[in-house]
Amino acid sequence: MSTDNELFSAVDALLEQVAQDDLPPPAERKRLREAAGLSQAQIAAALEARREAVGNWEAGRTEPRPPKRAAYARLLEGLAARFPAEPDKTPTAQVPEVPEAFTGPAPSAVVDQQAAPASAPVAPRPRAADSSGRQSSGRPGVRKAAAKPPASTSASADPRFENGPLAVIHVEDGQTLAYCVGGLVLDVPATSLPALVAWTLAEARLGQPKLAGPGKDADPLIVLTEAALERYSLPTRLSDEERLSGRLPESHKVVRQLARAEWKLTKRGFGPWARIYRPAQGSERQCVQLCIPSWNALDARHWLDAAHLPPAGLARLLGTYASRVMTPRGSTAVTGLELMTALHPPTRASEPDASGKRHSEHNPGSLGKDPVDCAPCEAPDGHPLLAGLPRFHQRRPGEVLVEEAYDWARPLTDDECTKRHLVGIDVNMAFAAGANGTVVGLGAPTHVTNPVFDPKLPGSWLVDLSHVDLSRVKSGKEWVQLEADLLPSPFTPKGERPDGPAWYATPTVAYAVELGYTVTPSEAYVRYDNGRYLDGWYNRLRDAYVATMADLGVTADLSPDEFLAAMDGYRDNDPHMAIVVSAVKATVKGGIGKLRERPRGEGWKPGQPWRALSRPTWRPDIRAAVISKTRTNMHRKMLKHAAFTGQYPIAVLSDCAVYAADGPSPLDFLPYREGKPLPGGFRLGVSPGMVKHEGTQSVLWGEGVREEHGADLNLARYIKDGSIIHTDTGE
């Protein structure tokens, strides 16, 4: 008799056969994807295919083959039900662009308010703007034609969001204006904050389409300048007490105004990133996000001097970030986490039941809508799972999972002291590259004893790796001899060799196997429900980074010499885009960090739950897997480099490695041959996972600062500019 698996396989084969002719024409496939606001990369990730393959399917060059064909047909069938093709209509005439010198109203830019139905929202009146973003002398109704929203934004295709994802509210000459993307400036009639919220939702036509089919459209973002804060009776700076609490007191008159108008605030209250809403009625959302730069909403560590830009410049900068990443939902860390959820919404609509009604159900591939407990070894100190431990108990490696980035350094050898320079190289978007392709758990862990290690199964493993000898390891198919004392261990953040059993994430144990050694875990917490949850997140942030670097003149097709030249002073080419690059990188690091957010005051005591634990995205195991993958990626490159060149790093900090070299350039020690890098080693370039020049100092400088500040000083922390107070880790 056939087993269940054999029967299911036979049924799946029949379903695939039935689906052979169920695909719509190529043009319709593309229309359905764009109507749903999906990218080719998102569909490729869901079907475990290449993005180029999806493009070929939409162009009709190739056709999907089983088993992907059946899944692709199901996807298109669902999209067709949600986005049916519109009947043929007579094409409407295109409105000509308005010349710069034209001062009259654009033919279709002014809404005929008398002809519009009483129930229809009245469109705001656009105003012209000059190249500096200041209001011009043109009459109301003129839309600037020279400046347009970024080409990558999809908001312009949705009439609900025709004015872009956000607006910067400013007051000039007594008039309240909304600066939008593309140089558009709108008159704002609202004289109070509740009226501004109502105007934004009813008339401003701001927002952004959802990033995934079952998701939600992004709420409009309103940025308030200091002049706007004064107009709406808000302080331009928070008091010391308000800054500590992160919000205005509930007794503030503007907070009371909102309450009287039946608007609500989220639990974080009226702070730098306030959310003002009314409970949703069905699928109709009423929510506006506020951003207040002068209250430190745009942290200078990540947004540099964005808070001090003029309104038009700030609208351009935030609009670019919104179109390439998403509309900001808070700090870059919060936005990084929200992007994960936006790309993998927790629920979706089910198939119709017998009565034709749809219900909310779990969206496969997401983390779901309910939080799950972590394994005890994955819990940080103070977690409720550890409430039974004695006070001040220090957990040993056999009790706690410690997957962190590198912080390792060693003394220079005699040969290295004869070199002239210390050259630092930094891995671009290292943690994003570590997230790419990593299989992570989607559900709760399962505890197993004496398991057989499976490199494809995400989890935490208790295993002894002290027997791994770095002096003789496998590199590819060959065994190589190395100077073990000159390389950090890949298994600990401090680079020390393990001295017994410890907890490790799957990528770390898999790397020990890759190096040619047998592993025998004694215990594990594994997650059988798993997937490549972060692939879409990585793809979107990678594309945002690469596109913005291209705006700054650093492209993927440059030779190593051209790349180093382009990176020299690239930020000066467009300071606004340089800020976007900084924010994108902070979004990566902050989003990964948020997966294990710690208590933030609020009277928390060890052993008690804190607010972040109620999120489905509080997942320390996913953070550990990404950091583990990033660290082992770094070690693999250093190992390949050492095996080929005999050169070893003298310091490693997170994604930055420092080498001694005869010249000041990375090309003075990276083994390029005829323009080609060492396979599997460090490679200069702009893409995530490739490296750039972090900084160069002299060997005398390195020896001097170590003599002054201690032999344990990590030179990678200061290689960028040589300043000992500098703490940039390179990301």
Question: Which 8-state DSSP code applies to residue 676?
Answer: B
> Are 39 and 141 part of one and the same domain?
no
Q: Which of 506, 501, 418, 499 is nearest to 454 (CA)?
A: 506
572 neighbors 551 (Cβ within 8 angstroms): no
Q: Is the pLDDT of residue 279 over 50?
A: yes
Question: Does some domain include residue 29?
Answer: yes
Q: Is the pLDDT of residue 16 over 80?
A: no
> Are 245 and 156 part of one and the same domain?
yes
Q: Degrees (nearest 5) of the Cα angle 660, 424, 716? A: 95
Q: Is the pLDDT of residue 123 over 80?
A: no
Of the pLDDT bands very low, low, confident and very high (cuts 50, 70, 90), residue 8 is low
Residue predicted with more confidence, 662 or 388: 662
Question: Does some domain include residue 585?
Answer: no
What is the structure's pLDDT at 4? Answer: 57
CA distance 164 to 462: 51
Q: E strands along 602-720, which residues?
A: 651-653, 656-661, 691-698
Q: Which of 688, 597, 585 is nearest to 336 (CA)?
A: 585
- Domain end, chosen from 479, 514, 531, is at 531
Residue 293 carries which side chain, given as an amino acid letter? P
Q: What's the mean pLDDT in 517-535? A: 97
What tens digit of pLDDT does each residue of 79-101 get? 888 788 865 443 333 333 333 33
- Domain end, chosen from 328, 360, 387, is at 328
Question: Does some domain include residue 574?
Answer: no
> Are 51 and 139 part of one and the same domain?
no
Question: Does some domain include residue 352?
Answer: no
Of the pLDDT bands very low, low, confident and very high (cuts 50, 70, 90), residue 358 is confident
Q: Is the pLDDT of residue 129 over 70?
A: no
Q: Torsion angle, CA of 331/334/336/339, rounded to 10 degrees?
A: -120
Angle between helices 40-47 and 68-82 (to 10 degrees): 130
> Are 322 and 386 part of one and the same domain?
no
Per DSSP, the three-state class of 221 is strand
> Are 130 and 76 part of one and the same domain?
no
CA distance 626 to 624: 6
Maximum average pLDDT range among 280-284, 443-447, 474-478: 443-447
Cβ-defined contacts of 667-671 (< 8 Å, 24+) = 667/560, 667/561, 667/564, 668/421, 668/423, 669/423, 669/645, 670/425, 670/560, 670/641, 671/641, 671/644, 671/645
The DSSP annotation for 332-388 comes to: HHHHHHHHHHHHS-SEEEPPP-TTS---EEE-TTS--SS--PPPGGGSPTT-GGGTT
What is the structure's pLDDT at 105? Answer: 31
> Are 162 and 294 part of one and the same domain?
yes
What is the structure's pLDDT at 151? Answer: 40
> Are 209 and 318 part of one and the same domain?
yes
What is the structure's pLDDT at 142? Answer: 31
What tens digit of pLDDT does each residue of 437-468 get? 999 999 999 999 999 999 999 999 999 999 99
Residue predicted with more confidence, 726 or 458: 458
Other Cβ atoms less than 10 A from the Cβ of 146: the count is 13
Question: Does some domain include residue 623?
Answer: no
> Are 171 and 315 part of one and the same domain?
yes
CA distance 647 to 323: 43
Residues of the domain holding 512: 376-404+436-531
Angle between helices 68-82 and 4-18 (to 10 degrees): 60
What tens digit of pLDDT does each residue of 221-277 get? 999 999 999 999 999 999 999 998 899 999 999 999 999 999 999 988 999 999 999
Residue predicted with more confidence, 258 or 30: 258
Of the pLDDT bands very low, low, confident and very high (cuts 50, 70, 90), residue 9 is low
Per DSSP, the three-state class of 245 is helix
What is the structure's pLDDT at 11? Answer: 52
* Burial of residue 152 (number of CB atoms within 10 Å: 0-12, 13-18, 19+): exposed
From 86-95, 100-109, 191-200, 684-693, the region with the lowest mean pLDDT = 100-109
Q: Is the pLDDT of residue 103 over 80?
A: no
> Are 144 and 292 part of one and the same domain?
yes
> Are 64 and 136 part of one and the same domain?
no
Give me the number of domains the chain comprises.
Answer: 3
Instruction: Indicate the average pLDDT of the chain.
Output: 86
Question: Does some domain include residue 21?
Answer: yes
300 neighbors 307 (Cβ within 8 angstroms): yes
Percent of the chain whose predicted confidence (pLDDT) is above 90? 68
Residue predicted with more confidence, 692 or 49: 692
Q: What's the mean pLDDT in 111-116? A: 33
Q: What's the mean pLDDT in 667-675? A: 90
687 neighbors 428 (Cβ within 8 angstroms): yes
CA distance 281 to 317: 33
What is the structure's pLDDT at 412? Answer: 95
Question: Does some domain include residue 650?
Answer: no
Question: Does some domain include residue 103?
Answer: no
The DSSP annotation for 64-80 comes to: --TTHHHHHHHHHHHHH
- Domain end, chosen from 531, 563, 593, is at 531
What is the structure's pLDDT at 313? Answer: 95
Q: What's the mean pLDDT in 25-41? A: 85
We report the CATH number of the domain holding residue 49 as: 1.10.260
